[in-house]
Amino acid sequence: MSKPLNWRLAAVINGFQDTLAYKSEFFIEFFSSAIVPAVIQLLLWYSMFKLGGAEKVAGQSYGDLIAYTWVSVLFSQVRGGNIDFDLAEMIRSGSLSQYLLRPIGAVEFFFFRGISTKLMVAVICLVVGLAVCPFTELSPLRILGAMVLALIGNLIAYQIGAALAASAFVWEEAYSVLMVKNLVVQLLSGELIPLYLVPENLSWIWKSFPFYLYVFGPTQYALGKWTHQEFIHNIELSFVWILVGWALVHISWKLGIKKYISIGG
Amino acid sequence: MQLSQYLKVYQVQFKNNWVREAVYRTNFLTSVVVDLIWMVVEASLFSVIYANVPTLGGWTLHQVYFFLGIFFASDALFSILFMRNYWQFSDLINKGELDILLTKPISPLFLALTRWMSLTNIFNFFLGMGVCIYYAKEAGFMGGWKWLLLGGWLIIGLITQSVVRFLFVVWTFWTERGWALSRLYYQFFSVATKPDVIYPAIVRYALLTLLPFAFVASVPARALLYGLSPLEYFWMVVVLGSFFLIGRIVWFKGLRRYSSASS
């Protein structure tokens, strides 16, 4: 195996081992971040349709929204992660110095180490998604495609997080930038509510960011609400966002590292 | 040790925290911005929903904003006084930091839960109060002397968060790491960001008993807007009292299990 592939694989394996070292934590976290928000969303639909008496909301029936919630759970688990917080903390605490001495990029190393958890989650979600296909109208091919989009979304999410984490080079409280980003992403990714509920005159807000590719996009495709052409178009768009993300990471870290002072590191 | 001595210790801790936070002034700006965005996200969520339906569980958008104001103020109060202590609770046990607290001539639980304060959150408290006051009239709140009741309800909210959060962290004596349980708590806590009237009866019952998050803002908002029956007041005392007692029992059982990490 070539050396570049070797360290990347080692980082992924290292991440797997880290995750599996605390299995109960992993499953509590998995359960809490998957089921609880979904249940809250379902209760919200209940109140709108059963208590509020609505028959259709933004052209969607009660059943449509329930389906959205359950399917979006599969993809909301794959998005994000807290690796960007680790990067910011590493810069703040000075432990970045160890990585500067190594012939590998810190941003890339953290990505590979962190992706293992998300890969594991993606496999679990994919298996669950495929398992329910025979009992629902979901297509296995669409579930697979949607998961690919969700994983691409994870990469974009990491790139944006890493670029924002670079603010730790100049500001000690950079974690707050990441917290704000997470709050915005929660709303604009379609994790809290399907984005078609956003009034039409405000829809430009979520369309201007790549966040909808994390959850809303994959869910729409899996549910058959996006055509294959729309899906391919969004895959193309996601590659443009990856390029933008790459440029953002490259520029922010290049500028940031010039300001980095490691004392005693 | 007497109450006056506890107050003295608390005063010293307050002073220490004040000095510490004065050093990290940007913390203040940070917490304000983060909480402000959080409020905007929560408010936007309801704006989007109410753009599609006129009422939820009989509540108008202004009533929900009034509820959100109480919720934010109550949560900020908890953040100011207790939140950091709960996040650091597992360190006390895993790193053996509890040893030093056990040697003091004062309740170790008191020290464990009051050492750290986040005084910078004070602005968020006023922000929540501002939202509450702004939407009070349109929500149908009578105002006048009834504003005094809000103070009492904020304390109820504070007690609720404290006793429930404690029951989530105290298991660290057995689980070693408390991070996942804390995350679980906050996932459940997100239920409290919506008024309980929008939930089905069984969930509302759970929110008044098993996970009594309704006492953080839902019950206070309902009490201020419509009033509560004596039975509901009684029920609140029973539930919060039970949580307090169970937490205390588990804490003492945990202490017996605790083996110092540094010994």
Chain B residues with CB-CB distance to A37 below 8 A: 187, 190
Residue A50 predicted with pLDDT over 50: yes
Q: Do A24 and B57 touch (CB under 8 A)?
A: no
Q: How far is B205 from chain A (nearest CA, A)?
A: 14
Q: What is the pLDDT of residue A104?
A: 75
Q: B89, B231, B74: which is closest to B165 by C-alpha?
A: B89
3-state secondary structure chain A: CCHHHHHHHHHHHHHHHHHHHCHHHHHHHHHHHHHHHHHHHHHHHHHHHHHCCCCCECCECHHHHHHHHHHHHHHHCCCCCCHHHHHHHHHHHCCHHHHHCCCCCHHHHHHHHHHHHHHHHHHHHHHHHHHHHHHCCCCHHHHHHHHHHHHHHHHHHHHHHHHHHHHHHCCCCCHHHHHHHHHHHHHHCCCCCCHHHCCHHHHHHHHCCHHHHCCHHHHHHHCCCCCHHHHHHHHHHHHHHHHHHHHHHHHHHHHHHCCCCCCCC
Name the residue facing B198 among A51, A180, A192 (closest C-beta).
A51
The answer to whether residue B263 sits within a structural domain is no
Q: How far is A37 from chain B (nearest CA, A)?
A: 7
The answer to whether residue B262 sits within a structural domain is no
CA–CA separation, A182 and B137 (whole Å)? 33
The answer to whether residue B231 sits within a structural domain is yes
What residue in B sits closest to A171 (Cα-Cα)? Answer: B26
Range of the domain at B139: 3-257
Rounded to the nearest 5 degrees, what angle is found at the Cα of A183, between the Cα atoms of A177 and A187?
Answer: 140
Chain A residues with CB-CB distance to B188 below 8 A: 32, 36
The answer to whether residue B138 sits within a structural domain is yes
What residue in A sits closest to B50 (Cα-Cα)? Answer: A48
The count of domains in chain B is 1
Q: What is the pLDDT of residue A265?
A: 47
Chain B residues with at least one Cβ partner in A under 8 Å: 26-27, 29-31, 33-34, 37-38, 41, 44-45, 48-49, 51-58, 175, 177, 179-181, 183-184, 187-188, 190-191, 194, 198-200, 203
Name the residue facing B191 among A22, A25, A40 (closest C-beta).
A40
CA–CA separation, A220 and A231 (whole Å)? 9
| Token pair 């590191």 in the structure block, residue | A265
CA–CA separation, B20 and B5 (whole Å)? 23
CA–CA separation, A181 and B7 (whole Å)? 40
CA distances, A68 to each of A64, A76, B7, B92 (Å): 6, 12, 53, 42
Largest CA-CA distance found in chain A, in angstroms, rounded: 65
Q: Do A47 and B38 touch (CB under 8 A)?
A: no
Q: What integer is the mean pLDDT of A211-239?
A: 96
Q: Do A29 and B183 touch (CB under 8 A)?
A: yes
Q: Model pTM?
A: 0.82
Tokens of residue B220, six digits: 């206070």
Q: Do A28 and B198 touch (CB under 8 A)?
A: no
Between A15 and A180, residue with greater pLDDT:
A180
Name the residue facing B200 among A46, A48, A172 (closest C-beta).
A46
DSSP label at B59?
B
| Token pair 């810190």 in the structure block, residue | A106
CA–CA separation, A253 and A88 (whole Å)? 11
ipTM, two decimals, is: 0.73
- DSSP, collapsed to helix, strand or coil, labels residue B105 as coil
Name the residue facing A48 among B56, B175, B199 (closest C-beta).
B56
Residue A67 predicted with pLDDT over 70: yes
Chain B residues with CB-CB distance to A40 below 8 A: 190-191, 194
What residue in A sits closest to B181 (Cα-Cα)? Answer: A28
The answer to whether residue B13 sits within a structural domain is yes
Q: How far is A193 from chain B (nearest CA, A)?
A: 8
Residuewise pLDDT in 10s, chain B (263 residues) = 688 889 999 999 999 988 888 777 777 777 788 888 888 888 888 888 888 888 888 899 999 999 999 999 999 999 999 999 998 888 888 888 888 888 888 899 999 999 999 888 888 899 999 999 999 999 999 888 999 999 999 999 999 999 999 999 999 888 877 777 888 888 889 888 899 988 888 999 999 999 999 999 999 999 999 999 999 999 999 999 999 999 999 999 999 988 875 54
The helix (H) or strand (E) run that includes residue B260 is none
CA–CA separation, B240 and B215 (whole Å)? 9
CA atoms within 13 A on the CB side of B235: 15
Q: A139, A121, A127, A152: which is closest to A226 by C-alpha?
A: A139
Name the residue facing B184 among A28, A40, A46 (closest C-beta).
A28
Tokens of residue B198, six digits: 């929008």
What residue in B sits closest to A180 (Cα-Cα)? Answer: B34
CB atoms within 10 A of CB A139: 15
User: Distance from first CA to last CA of chain B, Å, rounded?
Assistant: 27
Between B143 and A237, residue with greater pLDDT:
A237
Tokens of residue A251, six digits: 């520029």
CB atoms within 10 A of CB B28: 18
Q: What is the pLDDT of residue B96?
A: 83
Percentage of chain A lying above the pLDDT 70 cut: 94
**A–B CB contacts, 8 A cutoff, strictly below:** 102
CA–CA separation, B211 and B170 (whole Å)? 16
